[in-house]
Structure 1
Amino acid sequence: MPQSPRKSAFAPVVAADTRVLLLGSLPGESSLAQGRYYAHPQNRFWHLVGRVIGADLPAMDYDDRLAALRAARIGLWDTVASATRSGSLDASMRDIVPRPLAELTATLPELRAVGFNGRKAQDIGMKQLAGSGLALIPLPSSSPAHAGMTLATKEKLWAEIGKYLV
């Protein structure tokens, strides 16, 4: 059986005044191919965050989306630095090298909360950030593979991050 290729994640999208850090696991194939966070057209990340900040993020180009996140004081990163994985599913990840999350959060003096986009991000991130004093918020995955929950329910749960932005 051939070994799955090793995949590596992107640099963080943060600013000195970041209040909420949203963490995924590892970008999927579409995102890696395009060099952009949440590039798969069926991923609901941009819609969900747009609802929280009152912006039509899906209608914006990528650079404007990132600028809108920064303006709303939202940061973006992943819990996995690299892993071997065939395809895009978190369940397929092996040989996981986690990110040094505490190192990044220590550089963000206004950080109040960390949201975990999906179970794998939550499992990895909670271990590292437990006892940090930050609000740690598990969020339902924005991935199209996580279809067991309605979009309206996801919107309600993702709205939780809004209270840490004010």
Structure 2
Amino acid sequence: MRLQGFPPVADPNCTTLVLGSMPGALSLTKLEYYGHPRNHFWPLLYAVFGGGAGPSDKYGERLSFALAHRIALWDVLAACERAGSLDAAIRRPEANDFVAFYNAYPAVERVFFNGQAAAELYRKRVLPLLQRSGAGGALRYGTLPSSSPARTMPFEAKLLEWRALADFQASRQ
């Protein structure tokens, strides 16, 4: 089955883009980035940026929290075929249009990959197009441990590495 991803969540103030590979099955059903209740993305983001009691139950409030911290969300892939939610099952991947994205959001300076699979897909599917177009030349990249429940790293260990988001944002002020 061909799966379609989501549009980006971004505004002109965003300086950081966090990229996943492709939303999982439950996220696609809920129409929410990181919609699986065991995915650590939202708890990590709230912990990194001092979100008090943790993520809101309201998806719109979670998105507003990310944008308030100048974090844009998107995925490397616009579409793919995949049974289940595992990145290893992705077939026939189609990358999002990053040339258009970086032209629309020129304040983005840093890209963090939510896991190794997102970084690898970007390297193979997106970087060659960016290099040919000349877009995104000044971007800096980092890879964070996947927030997916399939990544069996303890939350506290993930959080140590995810603090790089706040460190980068603090360096921009």
Residue identity (%): 37
The 3-state SS of whatever aligns with 1:157 is helix
On the 8 A contact 1:86/1:92 being kept in 2, the answer is yes
In 2, Cα distance between the equivalents of 1:126 and 1:138? 12
Change (3 A) 1:110 1:57: farther
In 2, Cα distance between the equivalents of 1:82 and 1:114? 20
- The Cα shift of 1:153 comes to 1.3
- The Cα shift of 1:140 comes to 0.6
Alignment of 1:68-83 (within 5 A): 68-83=65-80
Task: Specify the alignment match of 1:91 in structure 2.
Answer: 88
Q: Taking structure 2 as the reference length, what is the TM-score of the superposition?
A: 0.87
On the 8 A contact 1:83/1:95 being kept in 2, the answer is yes
- The Cα shift of 1:107 comes to 2.0
The 3-state SS of whatever aligns with 1:23 is strand
Deviations 1:81-139 (A, max 9, x none): 10000000000010001112232123222212101011121012234347722110101
- Over aligned residues, Cα RMSD in angstroms? 1.5
In 1, Cα distance between the equivalents of 2:162 and 2:155? 10
Alignment of 1:15-94 (within 5 A): 15-55=11-51, 56-94=53-91
Runs of 4+ aligned structure 1 residues displaced above 3 Å come to none
In 2, Cα distance between the equivalents of 1:102 and 1:123? 18
Q: Number of matched residues?
A: 161
On the 8 A contact 1:17/1:109 being kept in 2, the answer is no
In 2, Cα distance between the equivalents of 1:60 and 1:73? 21
Structure 1: segments with no counterpart, 5+ residues: none
User: Given the alignment of the two structures, is residue 139 of structure 1 paired with residue 144 of structure 2, yes or no?
Assistant: yes
1:26 aligned partner, one-letter code: M
Alignment of 1:144-163 (within 5 A): 144-147=149-152, 149-163=153-167
Q: Taking structure 1 as the reference length, what is the TM-score of the superposition?
A: 0.91
In 2, Cα distance between the equivalents of 1:78 and 1:103? 14
The 3-state SS of whatever aligns with 2:163 is helix
The 3-state SS of whatever aligns with 2:102 is helix
Deviations 1:43-86 (A, max 9, x none): 00001111121114423410000011111110000000100000
In 1, Cα distance between the equivalents of 2:137 and 2:87? 25
